[in-house]
């Protein structure tokens, strides 16, 4: 349950890019994007930062470790570069047009699940005296949860927009929502967040 939204709050949208949301998801992605876009509009209107995050896993050390599940990325640097060019050409990194990214929005490219490691995100939040982040995006149990865990470790209040996120697996989405997120933040719908955003301390 959301109790309040801090005066200095930022919206962080995770991986709402073609290469991610084009996969089959547990909830209609159009609804997720619609709700995320509503949040973006409200945050801009309130003069609060909108941070749009995309993932580019090519070249990330995290993608080169051994794992039971094949991540589909080549190990050879030349092959990686070739795949990167193919991903660019296929629009893998394009943010959903409904988000209507604005010049004042902050763009972050991450190489891992979390948006914090090896990116300027923490510095940007500290510089703006942000104490609270509202999280939305895809996938719930990967990019959103990974970023949330890092945010929690760095002492940020976290508000989860439960209807502005989804996962490729319903069980993974529900595990994050029911067992992980309530331990590190507050959860609510887009409507809940918009309500509290209007009530936040001026």
Scan for tokens 């945050």, then name that residue.
43
**pLDDT at residue 80, as a whole number:** 73
Does residue 70 have a pLDDT over 70?
A: no
pTM for this model (two decimals):
0.92
Does residue 94 have a pLDDT over 70?
A: yes
Q: What confidence category does residue 201 fall into, taking pLDDT thresholds of 50, 70 and 90?
A: low
Does residue 101 have a pLDDT over 60?
A: yes
Structure tokens at 128: 């703006």
C-beta of residue 25 within 8 angstroms of C-beta of residue 167: yes
Does residue 183 have a pLDDT over 60?
A: yes
Asked which of 41-45, 70-74, 154-158 is least confident by mean pLDDT, the reply is 70-74
**pLDDT at residue 150, as a whole number:** 98
SS3 32: helix
Percentage with pLDDT > 90 across the chain: 75
Structure tokens at 185: 């933040």
Mean pLDDT of 98-126: 97
* Burial grade of 185 (CB within 10 A; 0-12, 13-18, 19 or more): buried
Q: Where is pLDDT greater, at 110 or 80?
A: 110
Mean pLDDT of 157-165: 98
Does residue 116 have a pLDDT over 90?
A: yes
How is 56-94 classified by DSSP, letter by letter?
A: --TT-GGGSS--SS-----SSHHHHHHHHHHHHHTTTTP
- DSSP assignment letter at 22: T
Q: What confidence category does residue 106 fall into, taking pLDDT thresholds of 50, 70 and 90?
A: very high
Beta strands (DSSP E) in the chain are 9-14, 50-55, 106-110, 132-138, 157-166, 186-188
Does residue 47 have a pLDDT over 70?
A: yes
Does residue 146 have a pLDDT over 80?
A: yes
Question: Whose CA is closest to 200, among 13, 53, 47?
Answer: 47
Order the strands of the 106-110 sheet from edge to edge: 106-110, 50-55, 9-14, 132-138, 157-166, 186-188
Angle between helix 29-45 and 190-199 (nearest 10): 10
Percentage with pLDDT > 70 across the chain: 95
Does residue 77 have a pLDDT over 90?
A: no
Structure tokens at 18: 């073609």
Does residue 140 have a pLDDT over 90?
A: yes
Query: What are the two backbone dihedrals, phi and then psi, of residue 178, each rounded to the nearest 5 degrees?
Result: -95, -30
Number of C-beta neighbours around residue 44 at 10 A: 16
SS3 160: strand
Query: What are the two backbone dihedrals, phi and then psi, of residue 61, each rounded to the nearest 5 degrees?
Result: -55, -30
Does residue 202 have a pLDDT over 60?
A: no
């Amino acid at each position: 349950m959301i109790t309040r939204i801090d005066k200095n709050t930022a919206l962080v949208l995770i991986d709402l890019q073609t290469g991610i949301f084009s996969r089959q998801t547990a909830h209609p992605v159009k609804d997720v994007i619609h709700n995320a876009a509503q949040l973006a509009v409200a945050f801009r209107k309130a003069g609060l930062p909108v941070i749009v995050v995309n993932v580019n896993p090519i070249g990330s050390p995290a993608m080169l470790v051994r794992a039971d599940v094949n991540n589909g990325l080549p190990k050879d640097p030349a092959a990686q570069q070739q795949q990167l060019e193919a991903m660019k050409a296929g629009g893998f990194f394009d943010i959903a047009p409904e988000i209507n990214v604005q010049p004042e929005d902050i763009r972050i490219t991450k190489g891992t699940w979390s948006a914090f490691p090896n990116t300027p995100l923490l510095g940007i939040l500290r510089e703006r005296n942000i104490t609270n982040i509202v999280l939305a995006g895809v996938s719930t149990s990967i990019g959103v949860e990974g970023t949330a865990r890092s945010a929690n470790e760095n002492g940020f209040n976290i508000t989860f927009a439960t209807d502005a996120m989804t996962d490729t697996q319903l069980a993974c989405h529900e595990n994050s929502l029911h067992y992980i997120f309530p331990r590190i933040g507050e959860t609510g719908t887009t409507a809940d967040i918009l309500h509290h955003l209007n009530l936040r301390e001026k």
